Structure 1
Amino acid sequence: MSIENTLSEIRDINLNYLMLAQQMIREDKPSAIFRLGISKDIANLIDSLSNSQLTKLANAQMMLARFRFDDCSILNMLTSYNKDSALTNAHAVMLMANQPVEAIA
């Protein structure tokens, strides 16, 4: 994959992520803050962005979304087969919820 294709894919992912995040925030802000792992200030900022601003932000040459698990055990819980997957997923969600909220620096 060429660098141009990679950057184009990143832009597409960023725009889709920002549009989904904005929709989630507008529909249910507390739930969106939890699910996206962002602060209330960042949620308010994303909510206030125009389509033009979303597009401009999506053009960053880096991924705006990131994995919320830095610990392999959480990834293993979410991907490994388990008879009680609902309990495993709930446990993983609780572990991720205890992680600090991300902020744009």
Structure 2
Amino acid sequence: MNTEQILSEIREANLSYMMLAQSLIRSDREQALFRLGISEETATLLEMLSPAQMMKIASGNTLLCRMRCDDDLVWNLLTNHGKSAANDSVSRLHASILMAGRHREAA
């Protein structure tokens, strides 16, 4: 994949992410804040963006969304390395609780 293809993928991901975020915010704000891991202020800004503004912001070369799973504990819970399938739902629930707690700390 060359540089231009990577930048095109980033622009597409940015636009998709912002459209999803805006849709979630408009349909269920509390769920959007939790699922996206964003602040109330960011949600307000995203909600008010026009399509032209979203296109302009998305056209940058920096990815706007980021991985919320940024530590080994959460990744291990999500991937279930060395665990049976029976523990899958418990591990995912534990990971969700950890990520939700981090969202509350950041807000």
Q: So what's the TM-score if we normalise by structure 2? A: 0.89
Q: Which has the higher contact order (CA 8 A, sep 6+)?
A: 1
Per the alignment, residue 16 of structure 1 pairs with 16
1:35-75 C-alpha deviation (Å, 9 max, x unpaired): 10000000010000000011111111111010002211101
| Number of residue-to-residue matches in the alignment | 102
Per the alignment, residue 101 of structure 1 pairs with 106
Question: Aligned partners of 1:60 and 1:96: how far apart in 2?
Answer: 28
**CA separation of 1:70 and 1:58: change in aligned 2, threshold 3 A:** same
Higher helix share: 2
1:22-41 C-alpha deviation (Å, 9 max, x unpaired): 00000000000001000000
Amino acid at match of 2:14: N
Per the alignment, residue 42 of structure 1 pairs with 42
Q: Which runs of 5+ in 1 are unaligned?
A: none
Shift of 1:84: 2.6
Per the alignment, residue 89 of structure 2 pairs with 86
Q: What RMSD in Å do the two structures reach over aligned CA positions? A: 1.3
How many percent of aligned residue pairs carry the same amino acid? 43
Amino acid at match of 1:101: A
Per the alignment, residue 4 of structure 1 pairs with 4
Question: Aligned partners of 1:70 and 1:84: how far apart in 2?
Answer: 22
Question: Aligned partners of 2:73 and 2:91: how far apart in 1?
Answer: 11
